[in-house]
Structure 1
């Protein structure tokens, strides 16, 4: 069982690390879109697509970067008592609290999949804005990102279980 947990941790961490390293450059995509928005509003006709495209890029940036953030431990943690605890007590606390995250992400994924299926079933759901882009691409990206966050959360649970048992990765 421990060997299976270690393989799972290695596989999920490798995928999310590589994806996170690529997605972190998405900030430049967002900056480019917003720069074009400013230039087009100043010198040309304003573009209809820039604001919504920047929002879609930001959603992809945050959702696909989430698993990498979890992996690095870059999430916000209340450190009032936690910082003074032993590594084993931290692992127990993290193992307990990550169960809530896994539940939350599972419910979120269920809703995301339901919304994505709805988007496909009704002839391609479109945004009600003037640009009217299809919504299924961003919904698929959201489902993939939430699924990867769920996998990373399980990986963190396995790491905590191994720490509780006194093992390092």
Structure 2
């Protein structure tokens, strides 16, 4: 089980690094959004033509990247939306069972479906080098590629989640809520 727990920790570290990059992408997205808002009004009054479809689409593309690629990071931190009617009152083993079954029955099949459904569109977009229909717009094929990449990242993080839940059920690991910082971050004996 120690190999699998090390694998789960490696996946967690990768998701954490991805999330840190997305923090910076979020800042860039906000700055571009602020630029778009300011120059739209400046253009009205000065006619300088500082605004462009490139900046507007870039803002939307960055938003899409943050949303899509941030899903695995969100899953790692258990920060996704959860209907917590009974879950909060369950023991760590009960929570592990819910997470294990939910991951196997819902998360992984949904990700597989999304990969299967999105792949033809991504391949077609690359085949024709799809561009935005707006004048001066950006290419669409790179951003469409983020869809399957995001679902692969979610699957990988889901595997790490499965490993941790099995470890909890086998009694070889503490759940993260009860583990100390050294167990969560890989410094202790789990």
Normalising by structure 2, we get a TM-score of 0.82
Residues 20, 65 of structure 1: 8 Å contact kept: yes
Aligned residues: 167
RMSD, aligned CA: 1.5
1:108 aligns with 2:114: yes
Match of 1:148 among 147, 150, 153: 153
Partner of 1:52: 57
Unaligned runs of 5+ residues in structure 2 are 44-48, 174-189
* Per-residue deviation, 1:47: 1.8
Unaligned runs of 5+ residues in structure 1 are none
- Deviation by residue 1:129-153 (Cα, 9 ceiling, x = unmatched): 2333211111222222221111001
State how 1:38-117 maps to structure 2 within 5 Å: 38-44=37-43, 45=49, 46-99=51-104, 100-117=106-123
* Per-residue deviation, 1:87: 0.6
Partner of 1:126: 131
2:70 and 2:142 map into 1 onto residues whose CA distance is: 17
Normalising by structure 1, we get a TM-score of 0.91
Partner of 1:16: 15
